[in-house]
């Protein structure tokens, strides 16, 4: 592969441990660089997921858990549609500190590869955008998303195309559907970060309990 191609990639695949990922994002947040890069690179993940989510979620008052919320780009997009009740969690305190004041009802530092610190059926929906990617959050987090979401609630997420099969997201989603834990409403290849030659699967599933 030409060096030019490698240079164009965001080097997420080089990260190995959770601490590396945390440091990577803590550094990326400095001087608001993360948000600037996302804007310059025309990162469309938050916009694309919010648009699909809005088609299925009619009640604007619903409680939405934003898993891996970063600087709150998903909250910003959902707010355009009138949603307002956001609970955010992320590994990087520096990114959490950049979330616009008052946009989220609650923000907490959390490792989503561990049990989520909320009770069963607390939320109407979970959004998880950009967080299923190299060395980030693994497929068992989907069990936790379903646990904290109410019956008939929604989970909406992106999966970086490069890890969908490699990390077993394909098998996990099949298992969850085969065992009637959730039902697929949408699943398609989205633009996501096309300027960096990275696309992602975009999924929207209804929780069944
Ligand atoms: C590509 S960013 C996406 C952030 C935001 N959702 C967006 O669309 O701008 C990935 C996010 O996942 C978070 N993250 C990575 N690993 C995590 C983990 N194990 N637990 C919680 N958050 C994690 C990072 O800190 C980062 O904010």
Q: Where are the domains of the chain?
A: 17-152+163-207
- Tokens of residue 60, six digits: 């604007």
- Is the pLDDT at 152 greater than 70? The verdict is yes
Residue whose CA is at the smallest distance from ligand 1 atom 15? 136
Q: Where are the alpha helices (DSSP H) in 64-202?
A: 73-80, 93-96, 141-148, 169-178
Q: Is 193 a residue whose pLDDT tops 80?
A: yes
Please give the pLDDT value at position 30. 96
Please give the backbone phi and psi of residue 105, each rounded to the nearest 5 degrees, phi first: -65, -35
The gap from C-alpha 182 to its chain's centroid, in whole angstroms, comes to: 18
Of residues 49, 41, 43, 93, the one with CA closest to residue 71: 93
- Protein residue whose Cα sits closest to atom 16 of ligand 1: 136
**Is residue 14 over pLDDT 90?**
no
> Quick one: pLDDT band at residue 34, thresholds 50, 70, 90?
very high
Q: Within the chain, how many helices (H) and strands (E) appear? A: 8, 7
Tell me the two tokens of residue 128.
């998880």
Superfamily classification of domain 17-152+163-207: Vaccinia Virus protein VP39 (3.40.50.150)
Looking at the CA of residue 112, tell me the nearest atom of ligand 1. 20
108 CA distance to ligand 1 middle (Å): 12
Name every residue whose Cβ is closer than 8 Å to that of residue 23 and which is 6 or more positions away in sequence. Answer: none
Indicate if the pLDDT at residue 162 is higher than 90: yes
Using CA atoms, how far apart are residues 148 and 129, in angstroms rounded to an integer? 17
Encoding tokens for residue 83? 């949603």
Please determine, for residue 125, whether its predicted confidence score (pLDDT) is greater than 60.
yes
Measuring from atom 26 of ligand 1, which residue has the nearest CA? 70
Ligand 1 centre distance from Cα of residue 173 (Å): 20
Who lines ligand 1 at CB under 6 A? 18, 21, 25, 45-46, 68-70, 73-74, 90-92, 95, 110-113, 129-131, 136-137
Q: For ligand 1, atom 13, which residue shows the shortest CA distance?
A: 68
Q: 7: left (phi > 0), else alpha (psi -120 to 50), else beta?
A: alpha
């Amino acid at each position: 592969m030409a060096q030019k191609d490698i240079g164009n990639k965001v080097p997420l695949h080089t990260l190995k441990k959770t601490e590396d990922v945390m440091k990577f994002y803590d550094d990326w947040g400095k001087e608001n660089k993360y948000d600037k890069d996302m804007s310059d690179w025309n990162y469309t993940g938050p916009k694309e997921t919010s648009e699909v989510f809005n088609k299925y979620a009619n009640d604007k008052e619903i409680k939405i858990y934003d898993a891996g919320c970063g600087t709150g780009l998903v909250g910003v997009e959902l707010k355009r549609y009138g949603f307002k009740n956001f609970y955010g969690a992320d590994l990087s305190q520096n990114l959490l500190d950049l979330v616009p004041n008052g946009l989220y009802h609650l923000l907490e530092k959390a490792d989503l590869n561990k049990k989520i610190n909320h009770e069963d059926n607390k939320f109407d929906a979970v959004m998880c955008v950009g967080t299923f990617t190299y060395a980030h959050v693994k497929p068992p987090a989907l069990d936790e998303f379903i646990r904290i979401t109410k019956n008939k609630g929604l989970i909406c997420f992106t999966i970086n195309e490069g890890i969908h099969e490699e990390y077993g997201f394909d098998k996990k989603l099949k298992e969850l559907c085969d065992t009637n834990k959730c039902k697929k409403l949408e699943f398609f290849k989205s633009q996501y970060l096309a300027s960096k030659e990275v696309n992602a699967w975009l999924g929207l599933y209804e929780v069944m309990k």
